[in-house]
């Protein structure tokens, strides 16, 4: 069962593999085989692509797989930059110190009924994952393990019944089963696959997305998910296993390993001179020599996509902060060990490492040059001071950039093209008008990120920074007169309420000024007549308990689509 791993771990064998009789040609490595039982087909790939880019796979309607895995960002998350919205406070739970992790916002913490649960770390903002998103581009080259700790393994079990369905090389399928039920990434507290299947079954395929690439638009073509499943699997049942198998199939077609490096190597056997030296510049060639020689990078970054698919502790952070592979296999040797990432397209994918704390490849090379930052008995011996001079470092960095970049990935060309996500579009509710503080000086914050989709799920809107324990009212109206000029805290006119629908929270959670928070759900219209019309909403918090004054949030505009 483990035999597939061997060819990938031996030094560069696959990309250097000898077919000496062949003419000199650009030779991207062959993609790894799909597991028997889930062969790649055109329709299954298209269904997988639809599901991968469908934010309706998330409970909130705001997060698709692709939200955190953007091809032009090398398959990782371009939102992962230093800043509050994309930082996880790390094991100590405190923002702003060295164990913080720069990663991916998922969904607000929510209950099954859609109401938000105030997260100690993130409040009502989307929660941020505890690790940086690795890439799904070329992930197919890792058939035995997915995730930094490899916890998604090659035997794929039906996510609902637990019955093994695919016995070999199906780590990609196993991986898909995770994010939709994670209450950080896509789900709600207690999400389960039967609920997800029901949601997908009822959803309009890619109903939240826009600008579909033509092949995808032609495939979806106004049809239902059961119809698309019929095309892909021969019958119209939407099942959890089929969702995983379709998405994994799509990912198996995301092979972004055609780059100047492949030109350079040609079909040279291991150790033999590259066949097309001019495909790289002098500096890049020097970088390649350091990569395979003095720098020892090749010890782990080998095989067709520069990963041995094995786990190593390299001293990025103290190993107890994130136990990595140890959490899966309990082996002391694997405390803090992470799966070696592919280096294909790595220049597009910063910030780097499982915690996203290295902003540039220059930083990464400096890290290796000084032999890593932390030590432990199980630290990989190959990570030790190297002693590169500035010119050598620059050469190594140069090798990691252009030579390993597939320009189709960089430019988002097929198969790396994609729809525009709802969350990236102007369909997201917009805020305007500022707010009005209460006598305590606090302006309540309004949260509204869920899609105003006619016929879709109820939308959740939330408030924080209100007065804990006091009443809060969310008002929704079709008239600009009401919310268009945000009501000042003193003039909450009952006469405006005739065409207003109200959602009331009798007592905000939290104690005292600025600590009040809560959420409500807002029904969405079902008639297509609502498409193109707008509603305006605003939160009001009873200021002094008497109803005479209100603190008001910014106003929110919902444009139904
Ligand atoms: C909220 C952001 C987010 C969403 C949504 C998300 N991912 Fe990820 N993805 C991550 C993070 C973070 C990791 C690493 C987690 C870990 O290692 O513990 C990851 C890991 C992966 C990996 C493993 C790559 C490797 O080299 O090991 C694959 C493949 C992947 N995701 C595909 C998907 C698919 C398919 C979906 C949708 C079903 C999805 N992701 C949804 C953030 C996300
Ligand atoms: C002992 C095995 C090993 C060696 C040797 C090694 N790496 Fe790594 N590399 C890894 C592992 C494991 C990670 C992920 C570590 C983490 O995130 O904690 C990694 C991460 C990286 C990353 C970040 C990729 C990303 O997507 O975040 C880059 C870039 C990189 N290595 C380049 C190099 C270079 C250049 C060298 C040689 C100077 C090198 N590596 C040597 C195992 C190794």
Q: Check if CATH label 1.10.760.10 holds for domain 10-30+257-410.
A: yes
Backbone φ, ψ for residue 551 (5° rounding): -90, 145
Topology agreement, domain 42-252 and domain 427-559 = no
Q: What's the whole-number mean pLDDT along residues 95-106?
A: 96
Pairing of strands 512-522, 164-166: unpaired
Which pLDDT belongs to residue 73? 98
Q: By mean pLDDT, which of 222-236, 299-313, 473-487 is the weakest? A: 473-487
Spatial contact of 208 and 451, defined as CB atoms under 8 Å apart: yes
Q: Indicate the pLDDT class of residue 192, thresholds 50, 70 and 90.
A: very high
Containing 394, the helix (H) or strand (E) segment is helix 390-400
Pairing of strands 101-102, 87-88: antiparallel
State the closest ligand 1 atom to the C-alpha of 186, by its place in the atom list counted from 1: 5
Spatial contact of 427 and 561, defined as CB atoms under 8 Å apart: yes
Domain boundary assignment for the chain = 10-30+257-410, 42-252, 427-559
Terminal-residue alpha carbon distance, the chain: 49
Instruction: Please give the structure tokens belonging to residue 549.
Output: 């004054």
**Among residues 550, 545, 462, 443, which one has the least CA distance to residue 509?**
462
Burial class, 518, CB count within 10 angstroms (exposed 0-12 / middle 13-18 / buried 19+): buried
Instruction: Please give the structure tokens belonging to residue 457.
Output: 């799920």
On average, the pLDDT of the chain sits at: 90
Residue 335 has pLDDT above 80, yes or no: yes
Which pLDDT belongs to residue 4? 36
Which pLDDT belongs to residue 493? 46
Cis before residue 69, ω within 30 degrees of 0?
A: no
Q: Spelled out in words, what is the top-level CATH class assigned to the domain 42-252?
A: mainly alpha
Q: Atom 1 of ligand 2 has which residue's CA nearest to it? A: 380
Distance 284 CA to ligand 2 centre (A): 18
Residue 375 has pLDDT above 70, yes or no: yes
The more confident residue out of 545 and 255 is: 255
Cis before residue 448, ω within 30 degrees of 0?
A: no
Ligand 2 within 6 A of CB of 319: no
Q: What percent of the chain has pLDDT over 70?
A: 90
Q: Atom 36 of ligand 1 has which residue's CA nearest to it? A: 65
Distance 64 CA to ligand 2 centre (A): 28
Which pLDDT belongs to residue 68? 98
Instruction: Please give the structure tokens belonging to residue 90.
Output: 């790390």
User: For the domain bounded by 427-559, which CATH number is listed?
Assistant: 2.60.40.1940
Containing 476, the helix (H) or strand (E) segment is strand 472-477
State the closest ligand 1 atom to the C-alpha of 148, by its place in the atom list counted from 1: 17
DSSP per residue, 237-260: ---HHHHHHHHHHHHHT-----SH
DSSP reduced 3-state for 520? strand
Spatial contact of 58 and 114, defined as CB atoms under 8 Å apart: no
Helices of type H across 116-191: 171-176
**How long is the chain?**
561
Mark residue 12 as left, alpha or beta (left: phi above 0; alpha: psi -120 to 50; beta: remaining). left
pTM for the structure as a whole: 0.94
Q: Indicate the pLDDT class of residue 25, thresholds 50, 70 and 90.
A: very low
Q: Indicate the pLDDT class of residue 480, thresholds 50, 70 and 90.
A: low
Spatial contact of 98 and 160, defined as CB atoms under 8 Å apart: no
Instruction: Please give the structure tokens belonging to residue 190.
Output: 């207690």
Spatial contact of 106 and 122, defined as CB atoms under 8 Å apart: no
Q: Is the dihedral of CA 346, 103, 133, 229 positive or negative?
A: negative
Which pLDDT belongs to residue 13? 35
Spatial contact of 13 and 305, defined as CB atoms under 8 Å apart: no
Ligand 2 within 6 A of CB of 290: no
Summarised one tens digit per residue, pLDDT across range 294-331 is 999 999 999 999 999 999 999 999 999 999 999 999 99
The contacts of residue 198 (CB under 8 Å, 6+ apart) are none
Which pLDDT belongs to residue 268? 76
Ligand 2 within 6 A of CB of 340: yes
Q: What's the whole-number mean pLDDT along residues 228-247?
A: 98
């Amino acid at each position: 069962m483990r035999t597939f791993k061997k060819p990938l771990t031996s030094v560069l064998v696959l990309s250097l593999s000898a077919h000496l009789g062949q003419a000199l040609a650009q030779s991207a490595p062959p993609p790894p085989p799909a597991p028997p039982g889930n062969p790649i087909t055109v329709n299954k790939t298209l269904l997988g692509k639809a599901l991968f880019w469908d934010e309706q796979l998330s409970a909130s309607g705001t997060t698709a797989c692709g939200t955190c895995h953007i091809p032009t960002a090398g398959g990782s998350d371009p939102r992962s930059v230093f800043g509050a919205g994309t930082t996880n406070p790390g094991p100590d739970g405190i923002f702003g110190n060295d164990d913080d992790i720069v990663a991916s916002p998922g969904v607000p913490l929510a209950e099954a009924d859609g109401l938000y649960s105030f997260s100690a770390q993130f409040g009502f903002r989307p929660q941020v994952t505890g690790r940086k998103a690795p890439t799904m581009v070329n992930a197919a080259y890792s058939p035995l393990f997915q995730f930094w700790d490899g916890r998604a393994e090659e035997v794929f079990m039906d996510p609902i019944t637990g019955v093994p369905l695919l016995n070999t090389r199906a780590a990609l399928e196993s991986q898909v089963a995770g994010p939709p039920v994670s209450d950080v990434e896509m789900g709600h507290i207690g999400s389960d696959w039967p609920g997800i299947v029901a949601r997908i079954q009822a959803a309009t395929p890619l109903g939240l997305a826009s600008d579909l690439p033509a092949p995808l638009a032609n495939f979806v073509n106004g049809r239902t998910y059961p119809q698309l499943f019929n095309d892909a699997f021969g019958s119209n049942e939407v099942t959890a296993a089929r969702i995983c198998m379709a998405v994994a199939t799509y990912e198996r077609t995301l092979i972004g390993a055609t780059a100047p490096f492949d030109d350079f190597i040609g079909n040279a056997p291991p150790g033999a001179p590259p066949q097309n030296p001019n495909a790289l510049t002098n500096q890049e060639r020097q970088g390649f020599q350091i990569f395979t020689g003095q720098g020892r990078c090749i010890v782990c970054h080998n095989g067709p996509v520069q990963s041995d698919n094995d786990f190593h502790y390299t001293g990025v952070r103290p190993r107890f902060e994130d136990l990595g592979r140890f959490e899966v296999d309990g082996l002391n040797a694997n405390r803090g060990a992470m799966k070696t990432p592919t280096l294909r397209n790595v220049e597009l994918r910063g910030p780097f490492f499982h915690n996203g704390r290295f902003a540039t490849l220059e930083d990464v090379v400096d890290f290796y040059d000084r032999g890593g930052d932390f030590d432990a008995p199980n630290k990989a011996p190959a990570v030790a001071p190297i002693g590169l001079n500035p010119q050598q470092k620059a050469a190594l960095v140069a090798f990691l950039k252009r030579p390993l970049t597939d320009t189709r990935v960089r430019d988002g060309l097929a198969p790396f093209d994609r729809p525009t996500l709802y969350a990236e579009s102007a369909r997201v509710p917009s805020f305007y008008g500022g707010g009005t503080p209460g006598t305590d000086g606090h302006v309540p914050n309004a949260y509204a990120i869920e899609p105003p989709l006619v016929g879709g799920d109820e939308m959740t809107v939330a408030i924080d920074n209100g007065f804990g324990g006091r009443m809060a009212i969310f008002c929704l109206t079709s008239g600009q007169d009401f919310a268009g000029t945000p009501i000042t805290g003193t003039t909450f006119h009952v006469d405006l309420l005739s065409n207003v629908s109200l959602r009331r929270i009798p007592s905000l959670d939290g104690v005292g000024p600025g600590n009040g928070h809560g959420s409500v759900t807002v029904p969405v219209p079902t008639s297509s007549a609502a498409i193109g019309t707008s509603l305006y909403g605003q939160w009001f918090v009873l200021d002094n308990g008497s109803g005479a004054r209100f603190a008001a949030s910014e106003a929110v505009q919902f444009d139904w689509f």
